[in-house]
Amino acid sequence: MNGVHVDEAEDKRVGLAGHVAYFRQKPFLVEAIQFTVESRMTCFNFVADMRPVADHQPHSNSPCLRFVGGQGMTVAYVRDWIVKTAPGQFYVMSDPEFHRNYDSV
């Protein structure tokens, strides 16, 4: 990770957990929030127009959030990122994929 110890990189991201924030996808600006146990209600409100349904994964009973996204029915699992693009479409990305594509602003 560009010479940054994984724990240090994780520490820098922890401050964003649970809050909708702006991120730049080289070169686009999007809004995004990481889905966690603590942020699930904020995430629910973030996608409120997309008919969200709070749910649990059957095999682990971990919370998940289902909603109609840019590619149909979408599911966000714990640690996934919910990304809102400028036209108002929502997508879900894994944590590693999100950090490969977006920089915090």
pTM strictly above 0.75: no
Contact 80, 67 (CB under 8 A): no
C-beta of residue 63 within 8 angstroms of C-beta of residue 75: no
Domains of the chain by residue range? 6-104
Convert the pLDDT of each residue in 47-104 to its tens digit: 998 889 988 887 888 899 999 887 889 999 999 999 998 778 899 999 999 999 888 8
Long-range contacts of 45-52 (CB under 8 A, 24+ apart): 46/20, 46/82, 46/84, 47/82, 47/90, 50/90
d(CA 52, CA 27) in angstroms, rounded, equals 29
User: What CA–CA distance (Å, rounded) separates 67 from 48?
Assistant: 9
List Cβ neighbours of 70 (8 Å cut-off, separation of 6 or more). Answer: 85, 89, 90, 91
What's the average model confidence in pLDDT over 24-29?
A: 73
Amino acid occupying residue 66? R
